[in-house]
């Protein structure tokens, strides 16, 4: 872990064992005056205030800056709560990150999270650019570090919390099997540490191949840019689906893309019957093709 003195860092803390362990881990590497804790209370559980009290008390004891966002309507939310909560959380993190001019955002993802994400990706039949979770990444203008990602499993973290008398809360909704991640997490409880380590090695090998593939996709994409996003360029290109995916994710926000939708878009792009036309990718949002070339509207 790269440590820069006198640089503010933001830590996402929920009050659960993972993030409370991470916070304890970080105060041994950073001056507490340079640590800012950001916590969101979604009020999705009637006892969520207990989680907040644990985090707040710890920050007061250690003289750590504490920023809290209270959400009043989560209990009434009927959609995909995980995505809803994630969007709220990262928007809040970004605000606090800018407020304190932070150098990095630290999150408490661990080895089990890495495996769970991989298995979710496989189950959804998505073809990501990276399997699992990256240890370091940049998102929404923030540099993100996950120091626990290749160090500990969940049960190890809980053991250390108890050994070191680190207070934490348990979110009982993590046992609700209506959520895909919770079902996968429940199944992983039957795996041995050796079985999980073996899978992590396999995932890392797959990621090495993906990195090489992504390098070639980036080269092809730059050529497509220089070609003016011409339809002929991707007509027989083996990376056509990847190029279209990259084009859309770079130029449009919040577009849901399945494999079948990407294939449909590619077919539309390369069609010589409609060299000037448009393709609806979400409500009031279109891809525009003019004289056989994709047009970007800023």
The CATH code of the domain that includes 34 is 3.40.50.620
Domain boundary residue among 190, 216, 250?
190
Same domain, 16 and 93: yes
User: Are residue 15 and residue 128 in the same domain, yes or no?
Assistant: yes
Same structural domain for residues 46 and 132? yes
Task: Give the per-residue pLDDT at 147.
Answer: 98
Indicate the pLDDT class of residue 74, thresholds 50, 70 and 90.
low
Instruction: Mark whether 239 and 183 lie in a shared domain.
Output: no
Which of 161, 190, 219 is the endpoint of a domain? Answer: 190
Read off the pLDDT of residues 195-241 as tens digits, 9 standing for 90 and up: 999 999 999 999 999 999 999 999 999 999 999 999 999 999 999 99
User: Is the separation of the CB atoms in 139 and 249 below 8 Å?
Assistant: no
Residue 3 within a domain: no
- Mean pLDDT for the chain overall: 92
155 in the same domain as 211: no
User: Phi first, then psi: what are they for 143, rounded to 5°?
Assistant: -90, 125
Residue 1 lies in a domain: no
The secondary structure of the chain in percent helix, strand, coil, rounded to multiples of 5, reads 50, 15, 35
pLDDT tens per residue across span 91-141: 999 999 999 999 999 999 999 999 999 999 998 877 788 999 999 999 999
Among 71-85, 157-171, 255-269, the least confident range:
71-85
Q: Are residues 53 and 139 in the same domain?
A: yes
pLDDT (tens digit per residue) in 265-287: 999 999 988 899 999 999 989 99
Rounded percentage of the chain residues whose pLDDT exceeds 90: 77
Host domain of residue 233: 195-295
269 part of a folded domain: yes
According to the model, what pLDDT value does residue 83 have? Answer: 81
- Give the integer Cα–Cα distance in Å for 254 and 240: 21
Same domain, yes or no, for 40 and 177?
Answer: yes
**Any idea how long the chain is?**
298
Model's pTM, two decimal places? 0.81
Boundary-marking domain end, from 129, 161, 190? 190
Look at the chain and report how many structural domains it folds into.
2
Q: Give residue 2's pLDDT band: very low, low, confident or very high (50, 70, 90).
A: low
């Amino acid at each position: 872990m790269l440590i820069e003195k006198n640089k503010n860092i933001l830590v996402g803390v929920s009050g659960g064992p993972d993030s409370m362990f991470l916070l304890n881990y970080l105060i041994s590497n950073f001056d507490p005056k340079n640590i800012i804790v950001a916590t969101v209370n979604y009020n999705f559980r009637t006892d969520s205030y207990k989680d907040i009290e644990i985090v707040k008390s710890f920050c007061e004891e250690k003289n750590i800056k504490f920023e809290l966002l209270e959400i009043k309507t989560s209990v009434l939310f009927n959609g995909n709560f995980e995505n809803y909560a994630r969007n709220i959380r990262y928007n809040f993190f970004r605000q606090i990150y800018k407020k304190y001019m932070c150098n990095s955002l630290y999150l408490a993802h661990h080895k089990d999270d890495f495996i769970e994400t991989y298995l979710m990706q496989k189950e959804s039949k998505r073809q990501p650019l990276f399997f699992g979770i990256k240890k370091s990444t940049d998102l929404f203008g923030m540099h993100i570090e996950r120091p626990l990602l290749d160090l500990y499993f969940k049960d190890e973290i809980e053991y250390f919390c108890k050994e070191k008398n680190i207070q934490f809360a348990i979110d009982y909704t993590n046992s609700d099997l209506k959520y895909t991640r919770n079902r996968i997490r429940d199944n992983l409880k039957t795996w041995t540490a050796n079985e999980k380590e073996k899978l992590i090695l396999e995932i890392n090998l797959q990621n090495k191949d993906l990195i090489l593939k992504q390098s070639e996709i980036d080269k092809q994409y730059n050529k497509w840019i220089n070609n003016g996003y011409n339809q002929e360029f991707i007509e027989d290109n083996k990376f056509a689906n990847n190029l279209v995916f990259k084009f859309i994710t770079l130029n449009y926000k919040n577009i849901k893309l399945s494999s079948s939708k990407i294939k449909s878009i590619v077919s539309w792009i390369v069609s010589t019957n409609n060299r000037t036309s448009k393709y609806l990718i979400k409500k009031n949002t279109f891809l525009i093709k003019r004289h056989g070339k994709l047009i970007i509207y800023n």
